[in-house]
């Protein structure tokens, strides 16, 4: 969260790459907030994903509000949606991975010896 705050506090992060700059920055936001959700979700084993979703959502909103006070930056509701798309992707991957792990049969002693 401190890294996100520090990056949001930097004025004008443009790279001069035109449309690629925009795409790469939005993908970075999605990755940051997806990772933020995952880190909060993993703090407690077998925890519900919803508290982590709440934390990531509130932080996405506060990040955009923060950016409105930074020179050459602006916060928009669209950016919150982009951040939450990253969270949704992370949730989908994380929950499917846990579900697949729980469904997979546990090998018996004989099966593990053969492998």
pTM of the model: 0.80
Q: What's the rounded Cα separation, in Å, for the pair 55 and 50?
A: 9
Reading the block at residue 62, the tokens are 């506060």
Reading the block at residue 96, the tokens are 């499917």
Which among 5-9, 13-17, 54-58, 72-76 has the top mean pLDDT?
54-58
In contact, 11 and 71? CB cutoff 8 Å: yes
DSSP code of 84? H
Give the pLDDT confidence of 40-96 residue by residue, as tens digits: 999 876 678 999 999 999 999 999 999 999 998 888 999 999 999 999 999 999 999
Q: What's the rounded Cα separation, in Å, for the pair 81 and 77?
A: 6
Q: Which residue spans within the chain are E strands per DSSP? A: none
Asked whether the predicted pLDDT for residue 104 surpasses 90, the reply is no
């Amino acid at each position: 969260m401190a890294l996100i705050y520090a990056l949001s506090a930097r004025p004008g992060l443009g790279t001069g790459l035109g449309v690629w700059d925009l795409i790469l920055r939005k993908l970075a936001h999605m990755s940051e907030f997806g990772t933020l959700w995952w880190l909060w979700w993993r703090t407690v084993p077998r925890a519900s994903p919803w508290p982590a979703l709440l934390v990531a959502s509130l932080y996405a909103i506060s990040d955009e509000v923060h950016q409105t006070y930074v020179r050459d930056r602006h916060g928009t509701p669209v950016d919150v949606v982009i951040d939450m798309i990253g969270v949704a992707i992370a949730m989908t991957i994380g929950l499917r991975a846990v579900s697949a792990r729980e469904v997979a049969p546990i090998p018996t002693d004989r099966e593990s010896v053969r492998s």
